[in-house]
Amino acid sequence: MEAYTIVESVEQTAEGVNYKEPKSGRSIVVDLSSSVVKALKTHRARQADMLLALLTDGWMRHLEGLDLPRIRFHDLRHTHETQLLAAGVHPKIASERLGHSTIGITLDLYSHVMPGMQANAAAQIDDMISRAAVEKGDGKG
């Protein structure tokens, strides 16, 4: 048995899906058997796959007639992350935008897009040393 906290309920209305707090006005703790938890997780994964397939189909239809490469909708996520890192956005910020649980996941997956970071760091250090030397008068000549 596993305890789960229910913090909202869902209802289908003519306007769409509506999320609201439970009727009691407070969260509810319930025990669920491992088989129910497993079934719910399987169902959630299936729903996610179906949603991604719908988004991908819509995305591919959107690309029809455009002179753009055919990439999966999910690939936009990777493109976004790669562009953030290539633009010098701090990996922690990029990690948060993707919802990774740790910055390590982001760095493990995307460090290959940052090959110039060592050279960039050395250039920045050199620039700081040069500015410090000028401020002290050592760089005047």
Instruction: Decide if 29 contacts 22 (C-beta within 8 A).
Output: no
Whether residue 94 sits in one domain with residue 60: no
* Sequence-separated (6 or more) residues with CB below 8 Å from residue 7: 21, 22, 27
Tokens of 39: 């079934």
Q: 0.75 cut: is pTM over it?
A: no
pLDDT at 138: 63
Domain end point (choices 71, 91, 125): 71
**Structural domain that includes position 44:** 35-71
116 lies in a domain?
yes
Residues 22 and 42 in one domain: no
For residue 141, being part of any structural domain is answered with: no
83 and 100 assigned to the same domain: yes
My answer on whether 79 and 123 are in the same domain is yes
Predicted local distance difference test score (pLDDT) of residue 74: 82
Q: What is the predicted pLDDT for the residue at 93? A: 93
Q: Are residues 22 and 47 in the same domain?
A: no
Structural domain tally of the chain? Answer: 3
Q: What is the mean pLDDT of each run of 10 residues along the chain (141 residues)?
A: 89 90 87 94 94 86 87 86 87 91 89 75 91 78 49
